[in-house]
């Protein structure tokens, strides 16, 4: 969906919108930016004509949305950068079983990273784990000391 508005002296003169028919959801049930804009257009379309929302409120909502979108983009790029820096490091990640829901921990050296749809995954022992499941990064010297004690 796109929203175009002609603004004169800080007041919206005319708006044009194009709305897609489907609402997308991202993992966890959160609404994505397209859904947010669809809700904003619906709010504008069905507002009470006797108590209209001011142009300033719409601009504030759009500014808040832009800020949120940039924070999400920054978070995504930081995850990608963090994952790339972990190649060759010994790590421990959480793994939740799809069938039982039990949490277990997997340790190993990160072989490579994969980026799919802006989400970073770590390859450990031939399996992929989301960067969000990273629990611990272990220093090589510390690990060698632990193994020497055993």
Looking at the fold, whether 116 and 70 belong to one and the same domain comes out as: no
Looking at the fold, whether 72 and 94 belong to one and the same domain comes out as: no
Which residue, of 35, 54, 80, is where some domain finishes? Answer: 80
Which residue, of 63, 80, 97, is where some domain finishes? Answer: 80
Looking at the fold, whether 24 and 94 belong to one and the same domain comes out as: no
Question: pLDDT digit string (tens) for 25-81?
Answer: 444 455 667 777 787 788 778 777 777 767 777 778 778 878 888 888 888 788 888
Per-residue pLDDT band for 22 (boundaries 50, 70, 90) equals very low
In 3D space, the residue among 92, 122, 121 whose CA is nearest the CA of residue 105 turns out to be 92
DSSP state string for 51-72? SPPPHHHHHHHHHHHHHHHHHH
User: Domain range holding 23?
Assistant: 2-80
pLDDT tops 90 at residue 129? yes
The pLDDT, as a whole number, for residue 13 is 61
> Which of 24-33, 98-107, 123-132 shows the lowest mean pLDDT across its residues?
24-33
Which residue, of 38, 63, 80, is where some domain finishes? Answer: 80
Distance between CA 92 and CA 51 in Å, rounded? Answer: 56
Looking at the fold, whether 47 and 116 belong to one and the same domain comes out as: no
Specify the DSSP element, H or E, that contains 125. none
59 compared with 18, residue with greater pLDDT: 59
Looking at the fold, whether 73 and 90 belong to one and the same domain comes out as: no
Query: Percentage of residues in the chain with pLDDT exceeding 90?
Result: 23
pTM value is 0.54
Q: What is the CATH number of the domain that holds 125?
A: 2.30.30
Please tell me the chain's helix, strand, coil percentages from 3-state DSSP, rounded to the nearest 5: 40, 35, 25
């Amino acid at each position: 969906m796109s929203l175009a508005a002609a603004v004169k002296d800080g007041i919206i003169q005319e708006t044009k919108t194009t709305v897609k028919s489907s609402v997308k959801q991202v993992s966890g049930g959160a609404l994505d930016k397209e859904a947010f804009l669809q809700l904003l257009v619906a709010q504008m379309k069905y507002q009470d004509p006797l108590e209209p929302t001011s142009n300033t409120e719409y601009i504030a909502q759009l500014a808040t949305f832009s800020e949120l979108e940039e924070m999400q983009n920054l978070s995504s790029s930081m995850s990608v950068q963090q994952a790339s820096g972990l190649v060759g490091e010994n790590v421990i990640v959480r793994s939740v079983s799809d069938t039982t829901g039990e949490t277990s921990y997997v340790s190993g050296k990160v072989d490579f990273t994969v980026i799919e749809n802006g989400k970073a995954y770590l390859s450990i022992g031939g399996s992929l784990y989301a960067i969000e499941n990273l629990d611990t990064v272990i220093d090589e010297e510390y690990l060698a000391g632990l193994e020497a004690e055993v």
